[in-house]
Structure 1
Amino acid sequence: MKYLSICSISFINLISISMTCFLSSLYFLLNSMVYFIEWEVVSLNSLSIVMTILFDWMSLLFMSFVLMIASMVIYYSKEYMSADINLNRFIMLVLMFVLSMMLLIISPNLISILLGWDGLGLVSYCLVIYFQNIKSYSAGMLTALSNRIGDVALLLAIAWMLNYGSWNYIFYLEIMQNELSMKIIGGLVVLAAMTKSAQIPFSSWLPAAMAAPTPVSALVHSSTLVTAGVYLLIRFNVLLSNSLVGQMLLLFSGLTMFMAGLGANFEFDLKKIIALSTLSQLGLMMSILSMGFFKLAMFHLLTHALFKALLFMCAGSIIHNMNNSQDIRLMGGLSIHMPITSACFNVSNLALCGMPFLAGFYSKDMILEIVMLSNINLFSFFLYFFSTGLTVCYSFRLVYYSMTGDLNCGSLNMLSDEGWVMLRGMLGLLVMSIIGGSVLNWLIFPVPYMICLPFGMKMLTTVMCLLGGFLGYFISFMKLYSLNKSLIFYNISNFLGSMWFMPYLSTYGIIFYPLNYGQIVVKSFDQGWSEYFGGQHLYQKLVNYSQILFLMHNNSLKVYLLLFVFWTMILMNLILLF
């Protein structure tokens, strides 16, 4: 009962703070207000350590969404993690995770951003290795080391900010937009954001982080860890417009979106499919952000958080009922056995696809129409629309494998919707996944965009979605994914299905070879030449000389007299001889 009370207290507190933040964000948004608060923590002579906090509609709205999703996830964990004897520790870790995200959201200062940033990295490592086995440890190491690259980039940006006399970057963005120094800082911040949001070539850690418990995945993939990079770039959006860094980001994020969409169509692990869909949506956010539309990126960030958290919670419920099996080939007919969970799953899936009047439709449709209006090249245009088709393709493939036909698993599974605690957590997000997009649309864009396009281009998004859904369902239905068909095109299937070999390159490139090389360097230099010519050799010589001196000092006077007499006699004899 003690553990359940911790879940309940956390849920009530988080949902209360979330509602407060949401109402405050409405007030700030309607009155165009920004509060910049400076709290002097320590003042010692001329030294003053100041904590700065930025409250505007963006930070308050994002905080309210993070807290709302975290409260639902904690409530959901009350049943999902009920068999865990360390549930208390799990809830504490989740709360630390949310707290780190809060610190990152409200910071206009690179130092305090780094505190939140590293807090996210550390706690995410603890959560990924929560189920203590070899696979979790490997995934945790890959996650931690991949994110360290971004942490170093952020540290370098902090060092470079010393040129300006303050780490409050928010003061300098407008003035130094065209300065080389700020472009360097912008490049480092983009690198940090790319590692945290798993853009190419740092994508392999995101599906590996699925080793964490499902409630953590719901939180990480919707509103916390992976969105931290996007949120940071939304704050630094001025540096991306009309710059080389922005163009590079557009290319990499477009390729990430395309690669994740292709990879998800070859995957059979339920959680990894949803993880790759997160990667695809992050690519979409990053690419529209690199074109300068930061409000659209923020809009899609918030709507995506709602339906992605719901999608993971439904997946967790299904895995929970399937005796911890994640293989979609063993599923089937879930709509009969688990109707409420299936309804939530399908609504969140359709919101992801951009089904009209669900949450995802408002943001995705507007992004794609803005792309058609913008001045971008054909390759980027192709990546946007083909990736949108692939999203619907893998979503309908997932629906085919999980919802239709008969159950392919063992007959000992007791599939049911009786877990009412988990269902209540899911139903709370279901409502938001339906109405969230419309509400946010009116809040963020009170005056609607006038997007005037020819009929063919206006219908292009719908056509791509319908075509993708049709292909996804019927290719699965015709069993074209089956083993013998995949073996004909084995090399292509292997390349596309393994994220363009990025996991192999990352594990060998980031973990195996650097650590191996490090061991050789330590043995040959630190424990080799530098030991012989350095401190150890010098120490040994000094020890030997001190032992000789010690022997000499310890001898008595008569020994010295005898030696003196002996050497005197020899000298006298030599003098007499010569």
Structure 2
Amino acid sequence: MNYNNFICKLSFFVLGFFSLFFFANGLCFCVMNYVLFFEWNIMTLNSCCVTMSMLMDYKCMLFMSFVLFISSLVIYYSDMYMYGDQNLSRFIILVLLFVLSMMFLIISPNLISILLGWDGLGLVSYCLVIYYQNVKSYNAGMLTALSNRVGDVALLISIAWMMNYGSWNFIYVDNLGLMVSEVKVIVVLVILAAMTKSAQIPFSSWLPAAMAAPTPVSALVHSSTLVTAGVYLLIRFGSLIEMYNMSGFILFIGCLTMFMSGLGANFEFDLKKIIALSTLSQLGLMMSTIGLGFYDLAFFHLLTHALFKALLFMCAGVMIHGLNDLQDIRGMGSIMNQMPLTSICFCVSNLSLCGMPFLSGFYSKDLILELSLMTNFNLLIFVMFFVSTGLTVCYTLRLIYYVMVGDFNFKSLHCLGDENYGFIGPMFMLTLMSVIGGSMLSWIMLETPSMICLSLFMSMLTLMVSLLGGWLGYELSLMVSYGSFVINKQYLVGFMGSMWFMPFLSTYMLNSSFLYMGYKMSRVVDFGWSEEFGGQGLFKFLVNCSFTNYDYQFNFFKYYLVSFMFWIFLFLIFLLFM
């Protein structure tokens, strides 16, 4: 066993052990309704105390358990997926730093330590996205970093604003119980930060671009770490969001993101980008659930989504690996005949994503949809909510048809098979959790059954929308060239397939114009008037004064004679005119 294998195996066992430990503690905390809050006084200087705060409840414990469980499987999977990579140990260390940053964010009730984990996620994600050092990866990494930087700045401003309240612990602001208009600024800034990290409209373009990272990173980032950080932050700030009536805005943004990503996934042919857009769709569903006020359900769906989305990326990675790095689904087909075990895992994860009854996605998604029908929202939100659900089934069935059932379109020389236990082991463990995880979490988190009173039509609406979306996905998969009279329009396909032109707006227009404007401002202000009247101008003035003084001191006798003669001349003139 070489050094890289040793690092992978050690990380797998350590993370797996801590995952079981946190899961057991999470069960105890949930049963006893126990919350642990403690502060560690790091340093005291006069009246200034530097403390590290931690908040431990069942949500923290369960979330950390799931993050560590998925991370351990991803590292075990990476040992085989990245086989032959000379920098595998560096890759594993980056993944461990990523997980550590997420741990900081999960346990922190303090905005300072949240920012530590928040910026850690942003920095390490940039390093992982540019892991394959080419122009595409660099561009994707820069787009990811700049988009997330907007949220970092919002969080920094909220930290500065919270100095008005004597503490950076948001639970103290939560318990003020006062409708203070200044606190609304903090809520708006936190929502902005969460929108950038969870890639909501108009910050959605970085999420598919981040697919330039290795597939194990995608499995970790898009399931339980980076993109879920914003949702988790809003769950923590839930009572403040309700207090300041920001729920409607979050609901609208979430539904719009869900609708846009569902449409885009139906017009995409890159396997990893389709799965990335499905992540974006589920993030929109979580944000919409927060907007409806169901914070526990949003957290429930966050955990179940982490299981089947990590599995989905792992299956996609195995297929891409076997097809010599092909990611276009039009070049795949009949994978089920050559990779039956991977195909089973792939179909289980896809059906769980659709909300197939008695898989993990069903327990959270179906409950969210049925409870949403019992709330008061307008027709636009209702239509977007359920059409987006149908679009989820639509692109899932289309993907299954292209990859699993359709004609095999790859070249005759290929290497497809399920013989590699380094891939199959982690995938089977996640498949098991994707089947039983939802019911297990529903027993743990939902104390009492929910009473849902709906008419027959409303009760059947979710099923009808799913069946209609599945039929539409099958029809779309048959139209390889999209020859329909409706969607054969170049501009319509271009608009919906490019995420409503958001990548163009985020790169060529906004970034280019703002960066060019910053360059001009730096030339005119920083290197122009600001330098002339600031540091450089003061330096030149002092240098001139110094030379004048030096010249005066060096020629003191000459100056004395000249000044003496000048004063005598003035005195004689004065006497003459007297």
Q: TM-score range by the shorter chain?
A: over 0.9
What one-letter code is carried by the residue in structure 1 that aligns with 2:176?
I
Partner of 1:514: 514
Matches of 2:128 and 2:325, distance apart in 1: 18
Q: Is the 8 A contact 1:258 1:383 kept in 2?
A: yes
SS in 2 for 1:131: coil
Partner of 2:499: 499
SS in 1 for 2:138: helix
Shift, 1:546, TM fit: 3.8
Is residue 221 of structure 2 the alignment partner of residue 214 of structure 1? no
Unmatched runs of 5 consecutive residues or more in structure 1: none
Shift, 1:151, TM fit: 1.1
Is residue 379 of structure 2 the alignment partner of residue 370 of structure 1? no
The 10-residue stretch of structure 1 (36-45 or 67-76) with the greater mean CA deviation from structure 2: 36-45
Going from structure 1 to structure 2, the CA distance change for 1:568 and 1:497 (only over 3 Å counts) comes to: closer
Q: Is the 8 A contact 1:176 1:182 kept in 2?
A: no
The 10-residue stretch of structure 1 (568-577 or 466-475) with the greater mean CA deviation from structure 2: 568-577
Going from structure 1 to structure 2, the CA distance change for 1:487 and 1:382 (only over 3 Å counts) comes to: closer
Identity %, equivalent residues: 59
Going from structure 1 to structure 2, the CA distance change for 1:159 and 1:577 (only over 3 Å counts) comes to: closer
Alignment size in residue pairs: 576
Alignment of 1:550-565 (within 5 A): 550-554=550-554
Matches of 2:146 and 2:259, distance apart in 1: 25
Matches of 1:60 and 1:202, distance apart in 2: 30
What one-letter code is carried by the residue in structure 2 that aligns with 1:172?
V
Partner of 2:60: 59
Unmatched runs of 5 consecutive residues or more in structure 2: none
Alignment of 1:385-534 (within 5 A): 385-479=386-480, 481=482, 488-534=488-534
SS in 1 for 2:201: coil
What one-letter code is carried by the residue in structure 1 that aligns with 2:200?
Q
Shift, 1:554, TM fit: 3.9
Matches of 2:357 and 2:31, distance apart in 1: 27
SS in 2 for 1:50: strand
Shift, 1:494, TM fit: 0.8
Going from structure 1 to structure 2, the CA distance change for 1:237 and 1:577 (only over 3 Å counts) comes to: closer
SS in 1 for 2:54: strand
The 10-residue stretch of structure 1 (47-56 or 72-81) with the greater mean CA deviation from structure 2: 47-56
Partner of 1:384: 385
The 10-residue stretch of structure 1 (169-178 or 221-230) with the greater mean CA deviation from structure 2: 169-178
1:303-338 per-residue CA deviation (whole Å, 9 max, x = no partner) reads 000000000011111111111111111111111111
Q: Is the 8 A contact 1:240 1:291 kept in 2?
A: no
Is residue 140 of structure 2 the alignment partner of residue 142 of structure 1? no
Going from structure 1 to structure 2, the CA distance change for 1:177 and 1:124 (only over 3 Å counts) comes to: farther
Shift, 1:457, TM fit: 1.1
Shift, 1:572, TM fit: 12
Shift, 1:171, TM fit: 3.0
What one-letter code is carried by the residue in structure 2 that aligns with 1:181?
E
Going from structure 1 to structure 2, the CA distance change for 1:568 and 1:368 (only over 3 Å counts) comes to: closer
Going from structure 1 to structure 2, the CA distance change for 1:88 and 1:460 (only over 3 Å counts) comes to: same
Partner of 1:33: 34
Shift, 1:535, TM fit: 3.6
SS in 2 for 1:225: coil
Partner of 1:91: 92
Matches of 2:548 and 2:491, distance apart in 1: 72
Q: Is the 8 A contact 1:486 1:493 kept in 2?
A: no
Matches of 2:324 and 2:486, distance apart in 1: 28
Matches of 2:563 and 2:41, distance apart in 1: 76
Shift, 1:17, TM fit: 0.4
Q: Is the 8 A contact 2:250 2:290 kept in 1?
A: no
SS in 2 for 1:54: strand
Is residue 338 of structure 2 the alignment partner of residue 337 of structure 1? yes
RMSD: 2.4
Matches of 2:55 and 2:563, distance apart in 1: 86
Going from structure 1 to structure 2, the CA distance change for 1:555 and 1:18 (only over 3 Å counts) comes to: same
Matches of 1:564 and 1:91, distance apart in 2: 79
Q: Is the 8 A contact 1:204 1:506 kept in 2?
A: yes
Is residue 73 of structure 2 the alignment partner of residue 72 of structure 1? yes
The 10-residue stretch of structure 1 (526-535 or 357-366) with the greater mean CA deviation from structure 2: 526-535
Shift, 1:183, TM fit: 2.3
Partner of 2:202: 201
SS in 1 for 2:43: strand
Shift, 1:567, TM fit: 8.4
The 10-residue stretch of structure 1 (12-21 or 186-195) with the greater mean CA deviation from structure 2: 186-195
SS in 2 for 1:459: helix
Q: Is the 8 A contact 1:241 1:291 kept in 2?
A: no
Shift, 1:157, TM fit: 1.6
Alignment of 1:210-289 (within 5 A): 210-241=211-242, 243-289=244-290
Matches of 1:545 and 1:454, distance apart in 2: 89
Shift, 1:95, TM fit: 0.4
Partner of 1:357: 358
SS in 1 for 2:415: coil
Going from structure 1 to structure 2, the CA distance change for 1:550 and 1:234 (only over 3 Å counts) comes to: same
Partner of 1:8: 9
Is residue 550 of structure 2 the alignment partner of residue 543 of structure 1? no
Shift, 1:413, TM fit: 1.5
Going from structure 1 to structure 2, the CA distance change for 1:177 and 1:402 (only over 3 Å counts) comes to: farther
Partner of 1:105: 106
Alignment of 1:143-162 (within 5 A): 143-162=144-163
SS in 2 for 1:500: coil
SS in 1 for 2:301: helix
What one-letter code is carried by the residue in structure 2 that aligns with 1:529?
W
What one-letter code is carried by the residue in structure 1 that aligns with 2:73?
M
Shift, 1:536, TM fit: 2.8
Q: Is the 8 A contact 2:179 2:243 kept in 1?
A: no
SS in 2 for 1:262: helix
Going from structure 1 to structure 2, the CA distance change for 1:463 and 1:142 (only over 3 Å counts) comes to: same
1:322-373 per-residue CA deviation (whole Å, 9 max, x = no partner) reads 1111111111111111111111111100000011111101111000000111
SS in 1 for 2:242: coil
Shift, 1:474, TM fit: 1.7
SS in 2 for 1:524: helix
Shift, 1:2, TM fit: 0.7
Going from structure 1 to structure 2, the CA distance change for 1:161 and 1:551 (only over 3 Å counts) comes to: closer
What one-letter code is carried by the residue in structure 2 that aligns with 1:366?
L
The 10-residue stretch of structure 1 (545-554 or 450-459) with the greater mean CA deviation from structure 2: 545-554
The 10-residue stretch of structure 1 (511-520 or 70-79) with the greater mean CA deviation from structure 2: 511-520
Matches of 2:171 and 2:63, distance apart in 1: 18
Shift, 1:510, TM fit: 4.3
Matches of 1:161 and 1:315, distance apart in 2: 44
Shift, 1:563, TM fit: 7.1
Partner of 1:45: 46
1:190-210 per-residue CA deviation (whole Å, 9 max, x = no partner) reads 111111111111111111111
Taking structure 2 as the reference length, the TM-score comes to 0.95
SS in 1 for 2:49: strand
Partner of 1:323: 324
SS in 2 for 1:244: coil
SS in 2 for 1:175: coil
What one-letter code is carried by the residue in structure 1 that aligns with 2:477?
S
Matches of 1:533 and 1:346, distance apart in 2: 67
Matches of 1:75 and 1:213, distance apart in 2: 14
SS in 2 for 1:84: coil
1:10-30 per-residue CA deviation (whole Å, 9 max, x = no partner) reads 000000000011111111111
Q: Is the 8 A contact 1:146 1:510 kept in 2?
A: no
SS in 2 for 1:406: coil
What one-letter code is carried by the residue in structure 2 that aligns with 1:517?
M
Partner of 2:295: 294
Q: Is the 8 A contact 1:311 1:348 kept in 2?
A: yes
Shift, 1:179, TM fit: 2.7
What one-letter code is carried by the residue in structure 2 that aligns with 1:521?
M
What one-letter code is carried by the residue in structure 2 that aligns with 1:78?
D
Matches of 1:324 and 1:546, distance apart in 2: 68
Going from structure 1 to structure 2, the CA distance change for 1:6 and 1:366 (only over 3 Å counts) comes to: same
